[in-house]
């Protein structure tokens, strides 16, 4: 790799880094987030989507979005289909609400167009500024709880019950035992700071499943499967009906907070948020907006900036060369489709549960002394798993926040954006049936 072109494109010297450091940082980031190439097809496959095509779409949009981040924004941040939103897409929109996965992709497309519009016009910043910090934290925690419930169900640890709604599953099943071992392995490796702890856990459980879980080995390498079954299969017409407008709003809001928060958090950790030099941040916001739009065309749920990018920053990544390395590695991953297809749901379930557990950390950021802030936040987080819907959690949270502030005489603390979102959700509950 020529230093001249890397210096010209990424300004390595200006950022106090070099090619070797950036390549290592890129590899580190990839290893920490590569689990998505196994988890995303498994989740969207539950919604009836062709797993092989989703696998290709996942790798391609991760490579494409991250490459745009590399060349356009020069940020060491990687993009891929987001955890939580893929679960909402599959389990809430398709399986629970009964929409087709094509219609759900249409909703992602519309939210991507909306996201792109608010980014290019600067409205994105106004919306972010208007949403209370407590609700932003609550959304992360709620999605974590939602992921945890899905993970426990996928692993067979929690099952349905007519008497108690949920109950403990059969712990003697090989799948349950392997899922528990996988989770413990991930936690242990993460604590020992082993790169790619989640990925190693998924691969380890998959290997054990061939011996103890009745799984069938299909090889490791092959030519990439066809993307045709999911490419341009989105149903925008159905997504524009009243039943999915609520879904579009949820996609949009979660994308807004998740992506923006991750981008700013990782950029701050890398020392890239320098006053007067925010142009790169604005470009990075465009990159992640465009990726959502493109991902829906390829055939996957919403794409977002990955917090795992912080691992690459920790390893010294400061420029887009880190992101470019991640992009190239995702393209290389296209050739391991047989391995991805052989990963059972109980191998990815520990990853979901682990990510869900980590998302609980935002609870510590809440102002527990102020009940007008913490109660709406708790309502938001708890209603997501208990109604099996991120949308309902958001709705009850925003309505509770506005109502409690009104009843306690603290109306002036409520931004007009909160009133608007709460009103939209109230209208939905009273006038739009279902969903």
For 305-347, the pLDDT digits (tens) are 877 777 677 667 788 888 899 999 898 888 877 777 777 878 8
Give the span between the Cα atoms of 286 and 333, in whole angstroms.
26
Q: Is the pLDDT of residue 2 over 70?
A: no
Residue 271 near residue 204, CB atoms below 8 Å: no
User: If pLDDT is split at 50, 70 and 90, which confidence band does 414 have?
Assistant: confident
Least confident range from 77-86, 161-170, 217-226, 323-332: namely: 217-226
Q: Is the pLDDT of residue 431 over 70?
A: no
User: Residue 265: its pLDDT value, please?
Assistant: 62
Residue among 295, 282, 236, 234 nearest 112 (CA): 295
**What is this structure's pTM?**
0.73
pLDDT tens for each residue of 194-208: 877 877 888 888 889
User: If pLDDT is split at 50, 70 and 90, which confidence band does 242 have?
Assistant: low
SS3 of the chain: the string is CCHHHHHHHHCCCCCCCCHHHHHHHHHHHHHHHCCHHHHHHHHHHHCCCCHHHHHHHHHHHHHHHHHHHHHHHCCCCCEEECCCHHHHHHHHHHHHCCCCHHHHHHHHHHHHHHHHHHHHHCHHHHHHHHCCHHHHHHHHHHHHHHHHHHHHHHHCCEEEECCCEEEECCCCCHHHHHHHHHHHHHHHHHHCCCCCHHHHHHHHHHHHHHHHCCCCCCCCCCCCCCCCCCCCCCCHHHHCCHHHHHHHHHHHHHHHHHHHHHHHHHHHHCCCCCCCCCHHHHHHHHHHHHHHHHHHHHCCCCEEECCCHHHHHHCCCCCHHHHHHHHHHHHHHHHHHHHHHCCCHHHHHHHHHHHHHHHHHHHHHCCCCCHHHHHHHHHHHHHHHHCCCHHHHHHHHHHHHHHHHHHCCCHHHCCHHHHHHHHHHHHHHHHCCCC
> How far lies 42's CA from each of 45, 158, 284, 305, 345, in Å?
5, 19, 29, 20, 6
Average pLDDT over residues 222-226: 78
User: Residue 99: its pLDDT value, please?
Assistant: 84
User: Residue 61: its pLDDT value, please?
Assistant: 92
Q: Where are the domains of the chain?
A: 3-217+225-431
Average pLDDT over residues 10-36: 78
The structure tokens listed for 373 are 């802030």
164: phi then psi, degrees, rounded to nearest 5:
-125, 15
Highest mean pLDDT out of 13-17, 83-87, 258-262: 83-87
Average pLDDT over residues 210-238: 80
Residue among 17, 9, 71, 5 nearest 271 (CA): 17
User: If pLDDT is split at 50, 70 and 90, which confidence band does 382 have?
Assistant: very high
Within 10 angstroms of residue 158's Cβ, the number of other Cβ atoms is: 17
Tracing tokens 């009836």 back to the chain, one arrives at: 48
Average pLDDT value over all residues in the chain: 81
User: If pLDDT is split at 50, 70 and 90, which confidence band does 184 have?
Assistant: very high
Average pLDDT over residues 6-35: 78
Q: Is the pLDDT of residue 280 over 70?
A: no
User: If pLDDT is split at 50, 70 and 90, which confidence band does 3 have?
Assistant: low
Q: Is the pLDDT of residue 275 over 70?
A: no
Give the span between the Cα atoms of 336 and 332, in whole angstroms.
8
Residues 6+ apart with CB under 8 A from 90: 43, 44, 46, 47, 101, 301
Q: Is the pLDDT of residue 261 over 80?
A: no
User: Residue 214: its pLDDT value, please?
Assistant: 77
Q: Is the pLDDT of residue 268 over 60?
A: yes
User: Residue 435: its pLDDT value, please?
Assistant: 46
User: If pLDDT is split at 50, 70 and 90, which confidence band does 350 have?
Assistant: confident
């Amino acid at each position: 790799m020529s230093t001249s072109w890397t210096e010209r494109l990424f300004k390595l010297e200006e950022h106090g880094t070099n090619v070797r450091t950036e390549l290592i940082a890129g590899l580190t980031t990839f290893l920490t987030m590569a689990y998505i190439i196994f988890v995303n097809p498994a989740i969207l496959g539950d919604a009836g989507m062709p797993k092989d095509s989703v696998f290709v779409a996942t790798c391609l949009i991760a490579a494409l979005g991250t490459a745009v981040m590399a060349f356009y924004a020069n940020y060491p941040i990687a993009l891929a289909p987001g955890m939580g939103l893929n679960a909402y897409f599959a389990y809430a929109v398709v399986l629970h609400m009964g929409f087709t996965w094509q219609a759900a992709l249409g909703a992602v497309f519309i939210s991507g167009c909306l996201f792109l519009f608010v980014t290019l016009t600067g409205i994105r910043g106004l919306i972010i500024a208007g949403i209370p910090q407590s609700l932003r934290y609550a959304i992360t925690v709620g999605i974590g709880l939602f992921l945890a419930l899905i993970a426990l169900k996928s692993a067979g640890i929690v099952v349905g019950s007519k008497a108690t709604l949920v109950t403990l599953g059969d712990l003697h099943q090989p799948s349950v035992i392997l899922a528990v071992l996988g989770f413990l392995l991930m936690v242990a490796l993460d604590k020992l700071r082993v790169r790619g702890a989640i990925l190693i856990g998924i691969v380890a459980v998959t290997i054990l499943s061939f011996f103890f879980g009745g799984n069938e080995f299909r090889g490791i390498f092959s030519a990439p499967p066809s993307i045709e079954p999911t490419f341009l299969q989105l149903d925008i017409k159905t997504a524009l009906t009243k039943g999915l407008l609520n879904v579009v709003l949820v996609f949009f809001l979660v994308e807004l907070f998740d992506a923006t928060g991750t981008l700013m958090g990782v950029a701050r950790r890398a020392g890239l948020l320098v006053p007067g030099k925010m142009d790169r941040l604005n470009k990075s916001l465009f990159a992640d907006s465009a990726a959502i739009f493109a991902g829906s065309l390829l055939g996957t749920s919403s794409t977002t900036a990955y917090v795992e990018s912080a691992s690459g920053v920790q390893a010294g990544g400061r420029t887009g060369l880190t992101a470019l390395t991640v992009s190239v590695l995702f393209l290389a991953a296209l050739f391991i489709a047989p391995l991805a297809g052989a990963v059972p749901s109980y191998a990815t379930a520990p990853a979901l549960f682990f990510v869900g557990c980590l998302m609980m950390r935002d609870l510590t950021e809440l102002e527990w002394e102020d009940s007008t802030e913490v109660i709406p936040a708790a309502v938001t987080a708890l209603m997501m798993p208990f109604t099996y819907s991120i949308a309902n959690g958001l709705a009850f949270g925003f309505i509770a926040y506005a109502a409690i502030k009104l009843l306690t005489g603290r109306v002036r603390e409520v931004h007009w954006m909160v009133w608007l979102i709460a009103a939209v959700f109230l209208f939905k509950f009273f006038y739009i049936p279902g969903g």
